C-alpha cells in the first residue's frame, strides 16, 4: 500500500520556485547569475509599516488572533474595498489568510467536489491548476493569444463553460503576462458570466496597484454588481506594499463562503501572524504616496526590457499594462542550435540553454500553460535588467 496520498500524483512543483532555487545554487558555486524568476518587488517595506509592526510587538500584540483576522484589519480591508473598488463588504464578509495562496486554496477547498470544473485562462499563475487538483477539481484551460495581449475573450470563455463549471479564476493584472483588462474588456467577460448563473468568479487582484500609463483598474464585481453574490474578490499587501515575506492575503465575498473558508482555516492554520496583521492595518490605512513612486520605477523598467528584448533575434515581446512581468515569445528560436550545440526544441530548452550559457534565469512559458514563451520578472534594478537583456541578445544572436 502506498504511503503518500494519491493527490500528490496530480501535483507538480512550482516552476518559479525551482528556477529561483537553481539560480541560488549556481550563484553559491560562484557562477555569475542574474535571477529574473522571482515575483518579488526589490523595494523594502516602507518604514511606517515596519514601525507599526514594532509598536504592535511592544504593545504585546503577540497572542492568537481570530481565525478570520483581527477586527481592526478586517475593518481596514472593508474600508479599502469601499474606497478603492466601490465594493461594500462588511467586516464579517472579509477573511485574512497567510498570503493570497491560502485564500485561494481555502475557497477551492470549501467549494470543489470531484468532477467540478474550474476555468483558468492560459497563461496562468503556476499554482492555480495545482490547487484545483489538490482540491479534487478539474482545470479547464481557456487559451489566450499574444495578438490579443494574452487576454481572455468572451468567445473563449463561453466555449469553456459547461454544466460542471463552478469557478472562473480571473487574474488582472496577470501573472505571468502582465495583461490587464480595461473596463470594456472586463464587461465583455461579465456579460458571458451573467448568462451562466452557476459559474462563480474568483478574482486575483494582487497586482491591482501596479498598472501603467493611463490604465484604470477595475474588478469584476465592481463592473457588474449583479455578480456580487457569486464573486470572491481576493487581494493582498505583498506586491504593492513590498510585503511579500509578511504573508498577508485577504478576500471579500458572500458571508456563507467566508464562513466556510473560516472553518477550513480554523482547522488548518488558525489566525494569521498577529504582528503582520497590525503591519497590514498600517499598510492599508496609512500613507499611500510611495505606491505611485514605485509604479513609475517599474514602468521605466518595463519599457527598458520590452525595448531590448524586441531587439533580440527571434524574440517578440508585447508591452503589458500591469504587474512586473513580460511574457515574450521565443518562437523564432525554436528549431535553432544553441551555442552548446543543442537544438532548441521547446521554450524549456531555450531557458535551460540561456541559463547555462549566459547565466540568466527566467521561467519557461509552458510552466504557465502557454508556449513557446518565457517569463521575465523586472522587479530588480535597471542595471541588472540591462545586463540581462544584453546577455539574452547575445545568446539569441549566437543561435544558428
Instruction: Indicate the range of 13-27, 142-156, 178-192 predicted with least confidence.
Output: 13-27
pLDDT of 192 higher than 80: yes
User: Using H for helix, E for strand and C for coil, what is the string for the chain?
Assistant: CCCCCHHHHHCCCCHHHHHHHHHHHHHHCCCCCEECCCCCCCCCCCHHHHHHHHHHHHCCCCCCCCCCCCHHHHHHHHHHHHHHHCCCCCHHHEEEECHHHHHHHHHHHHHCCCCCEEEEEECCCCHHHHHHHHCCCEEEEEECCHHHCCCCCHHHHHHHCCCCEEEEEEECCCCCCCCCCCHHHHHHHHHHHHCCCCCEEEEECCCCCCECCCCCCCCHHHHCHHHHHHEEEEEECCCCCCCHHHCCEEEECCHHHHHHHHHHHHCCCCCCCHHHHHHHHHHHHCCCHHHHHHHHHHHHHHHHHHHHHCCCCCCECCCCCECCEECCECHHHCCCECCCCCECCCHHHHHHHHHHHHCEECEEHHHHCCCCEEEEECCCCHHHHHHHHHHHHHHHHHCC
Distances (CA, A) of 231 to 46, 225, 288, 302: 31, 10, 27, 31
d(CA 273, CA 245): 11
Which pLDDT belongs to residue 39? 83
Q: Which pLDDT value is given to residue 27? A: 81
In CATH, the architecture of 6-44+290-398 is Alpha-Beta Complex (3.90)
Q: Is the pLDDT of residue 100 over 80?
A: yes
**pLDDT of 22:** 80
Dist CA 52 CA 279 (whole Å): 5
Same fold, 6-44+290-398 and 62-285: no
Spatial neighbors of 47 by CB under 8 A, at least 6 apart, are: none
Backbone angles phi, psi at 233, to 5 degrees: -100, 105
In SS3 terms, 92-141 reads as: HHEEEECHHHHHHHHHHHHHCCCCCEEEEEECCCCHHHHHHHHCCCEEEE
Beta strand 34-35 pairing with 117-122:
unpaired
Quickly state the pLDDT bin for 159 (edges 50, 70, 90).
very high
Mean pLDDT of the chain: 96
Kindly tell me if the per-residue pLDDT of 354 is higher than 90: yes
Q: Is the distance from CB of 317 to CB of 306 less than 8 angstroms? A: yes
Q: For residue 243, give Cα distances in angstroms to 46, 49, 58, 99, 276.
A: 9, 9, 21, 10, 9
Q: State pLDDT tens for residues 261-320.
A: 999 999 999 999 999 999 999 999 999 999 999 999 999 999 999 999 999 999 999 999
Judged against a pLDDT cut of 80, whether residue 20 lies above it is answered with no
Segment 117-139, tens digit of pLDDT: 999 999 999 999 999 999 999 99
Q: Domain locations in the chain? A: 6-44+290-398, 62-285
Distance of CA 102 to the CA centre of its chain: 13
Reported CATH class of domain 62-285: alpha beta
Amino acid at each position: 500500500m502506498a504511503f503518500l496520498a494519491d493527490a500528490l500524483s496530480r501535483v507538480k512543483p512550482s516552476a518559479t520556485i525551482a528556477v529561483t532555487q537553481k539560480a541560488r545554487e549556481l550563484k553559491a558555486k560562484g557562477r555569475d547569475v542574474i535571477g529574473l524568476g522571482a515575483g518579488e518587488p526589490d523595494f523594502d517595506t516602507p518604514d511606517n509599516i515596519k514601525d507599526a509592526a514594532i509598536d504592535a510587538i511592544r504593545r504585546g500584540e503577540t497572542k492568537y488572533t481570530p481565525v478570520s483576522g483581527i477586527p481592526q484589519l478586517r475593518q481596514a480591508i472593508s474600508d479599502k474595498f469601499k474606497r478603492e473598488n466601490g465594493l461594500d463588504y462588511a467586516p464579517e464578509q472579509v477573511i485574512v489568510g497567510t498570503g493570497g495562496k491560502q485564500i485561494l486554496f481555502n475557497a477551492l477547498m470549501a467549494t470543489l467536489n470531484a468532477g467540478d470544473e474550474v476555468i483558468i485562462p492560459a497563461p496562468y499563475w503556476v499554482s492555480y491548476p495545482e490547487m484545483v487538483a489538490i482540491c479534487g477539481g478539474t482545470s479547464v484551460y481557456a487559451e489566450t493569444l499574444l495578438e490579443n495581449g494574452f487576454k481572455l475573450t468572451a468567445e473563449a470563455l463561453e466555449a469553456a463553460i459547461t454544466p460542471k463549471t463552478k469557478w472562473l479564476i480571473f487574474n488582472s493584472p496577470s501573472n505571468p503576462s502582465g495583461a490587464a483588462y480595461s473596463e470594456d474588456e472586463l464587461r465583455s467577460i461579465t456579460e458571458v458570466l451573467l448568462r451562466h448563473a452557476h459559474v462563480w468568479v474568483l478574482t486575483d487582484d494582487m497586482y491591482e496597484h501596479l498598472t501603467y500609463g493611463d490604465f484604470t483598474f477595475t474588478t469584476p464585481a465592481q463592473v457588474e454588481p449583479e455578480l456580487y453574490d457569486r464573486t470572491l474578490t481576493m487581494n493582498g499587501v505583498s506586491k504593492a506594499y513590498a510585503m511579500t515575506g509578511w504573508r498577508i492575503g485577504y478576500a471579500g465575498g458572500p458571508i456563507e463562503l467566508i464562513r466556510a473558508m473560516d472553518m477550513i482555516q480554523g482547522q488548518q492554520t488558525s489566525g494569521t501572524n498577529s504582528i503582520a496583521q497590525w503591519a497590514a492595518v498600517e499598510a492599508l490605512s496609512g500613507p499611500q504616496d510611495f505606491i505611485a513612486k514605485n509604479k513609475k520605477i517599474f514602468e521605466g523598467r518595463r519599457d527598458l526590457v520590452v525595448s531590448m528584448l524586441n531587439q533580440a533575434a527571434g524574440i517578440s515581446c508585447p508591452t503589458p499594462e500591469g504587474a512586473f512581468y513580460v511574457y515574450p515569445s521565443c518562437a523564432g528560436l525554436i528549431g535553432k542550435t544553441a551555442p552548446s550545440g543543442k537544438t532548441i526544441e521547446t521554450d524549456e530548452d531555450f531557458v535551460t540553454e540561456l541559463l547555462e550559457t549566459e547565466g540568466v534565469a527566467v521561467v519557461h512559458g509552458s510552466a504557465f500553460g502557454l508556449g513557446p514563451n518565457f517569463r521575465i520578472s523586472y522587479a530588480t534594478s535597471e542595471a541588472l535588467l540591462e545586463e540581462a537583456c544584453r546577455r539574452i541578445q547575445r545568446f539569441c544572436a549566437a543561435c544558428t
